[in-house]
Structure 1
Amino acid sequence: MLLAALTTLAPATRAAASEEIGAVDTVFKLIGPDHKIVVDAYDDPKVAGVTCYVSRAKTGGIKGGLGLAEDRSEASIVCQATGPIQIPQPLRQQEEVFTERTSLLFKRLRVVRMVDAKRNTLVYMTYSDRVIEGSPQNSVTAVAVPAGTPIPLKK
């Protein structure tokens, strides 16, 4: 019963929807899905024309198939201008843009956007955290915004 309630609530806690671009198997599992590396695309909800691609491990097997496994903390990110960059509203200096659950309860993959106003650049960092202890493993990427498009900041 608790499991059903938690899995029902899980989709509502996602900050942004991802689109799976592809996956490769890394370990064959006789029962349940294989262990994989998946690549997901996230469009920045506040910056039109920027898409982030995050690759991460996804645990398979029986626990993975049931949604009970804890995925590894390693992830990689690259963000690209996929169209004209438009920033309709001022951005915070630092803001969580995406979050996704990587274990049943306590672990999340996060993507944070930071503004480097001096260089007119958006910096994106991905990392994993837990309620008790997170991981220092992270990945960072940057998207230079054209000089004619200043990045408005919230005061």
Structure 2
Amino acid sequence: MTRMILAALACLATPQLLPAKEVGRIGVDWVGNDIIVEAIHDPKVAGVTCHITYFERSLIDRLSQGNWFEDPSNASIACRQTGPIIVGDIDRGRSGEDVFRERRSIVLKTLRIRRIFDAENQTLIYVAHARELTEGSAKMAVSTVPLFGDATQPTE
């Protein structure tokens, strides 16, 4: 139990890696639930922008459902080249590295975007997923950005 409390405190103390900018908001029902659209620029890969969408519950929905502190884990992602791609010092390991992280509940759940470099196919893979302290989530979305030409090759 102490380990779980320490892990929860560590999650709270961890800053968001990269700020997202809200670029759109779609109202989906009369109680005020919305789909949020945000743009995120990869901090280590110039020329790549990811757009994520996720559901944000309204106060009325929170009151009627009784779950005050949590939003759903569902998210969608699309990443595209938005300028000349320059790959910086990225993690080339099989598990990649976080590009973005945002809390989706008070303590236990975060929405993350993780970048993985597929060297064989010269492609950047971006995976949006929820990470929960107590149980995993199978809700995820993936987007890829191919790297073409000598100027876009990652630096060693």
TM-score by length of 2: 0.80
**Equivalent residue, structure 2, for 1:114:** 116
- Paired residues in the alignment total 138
* Separation (CA, whole Å) in 1 of partners of 2:133 and 2:88: 34
Q: Which residue matches 1:21? A: 23
TM-superposed CA distance for 1:145, in Å, is: 1.1
CA 70–13 in structure 1, closer or farther in 2 if over 3 Å, else same: same
The correspondence of residues 1-155 of structure 1 with structure 2, limited to 5 A, is 13-29=15-31, 34-61=32-59, 63=62, 68-93=68-93, 94-148=96-150, 149-152=152-155
- Unaligned regions of 5+ residues in structure 1, if any? 1-8
Pick closer, same or farther for the CA change 1:124–1:105 going to 2, 3 Å: same
By how many angstroms is 1:104 displaced? 1.4
TM-score (norm 1): 0.81
What does residue 5 of structure 1 align with?
Answer: none
Is the 8 Å Cα contact of residues 120 and 147 (structure 1) preserved in structure 2?
no
Letter in 2 for 1:145: L
Distance in 2 between the 1:141 and 1:110 partners?
13
Q: CA deviation at 1:12?
A: 6.6
Unpaired segments ≥5 residues, structure 2: 1-10
| CA distance in structure 2 between the aligned counterparts of 1:45 and 1:131, rounded to whole angstroms | 26
Shift of 1:129: 1.5
Identical-pair percentage = 35
Q: Give the deviation of 1:120 after TM superposition.
A: 0.8
- The root-mean-square deviation of aligned C-alpha atoms, in Å, is 2.1
CA deviations 1:34-53 (Å, max 9, x no partner) are 11110111100000010100
Write the distance in 2 (CA, Å) between the matches of 1:77 and 1:43: 13
Give the aligned residue type for 2:79.
C
Q: Partners in 2 of 1:14 and 1:37 — Cα distance? A: 20
- Code of the aligned partner of 1:127: H
CA distance in 1, matches of 2:90, 2:71: 34
CA–CA separation in structure 2 for the residues paired with 1:152 and 1:102? 35
Match of 1:3 in 2: none
| 100-109 or 10-19, larger mean C-alpha shift | 10-19
Residue 120 of structure 2 aligns to a residue in which SS?
helix
Looking at structure 1, the residues matched to 75 and 118 of structure 2 have their Cα atoms a distance apart, in angstroms, of 23
Deviation at 1:105, TM superposition (A): 1.4
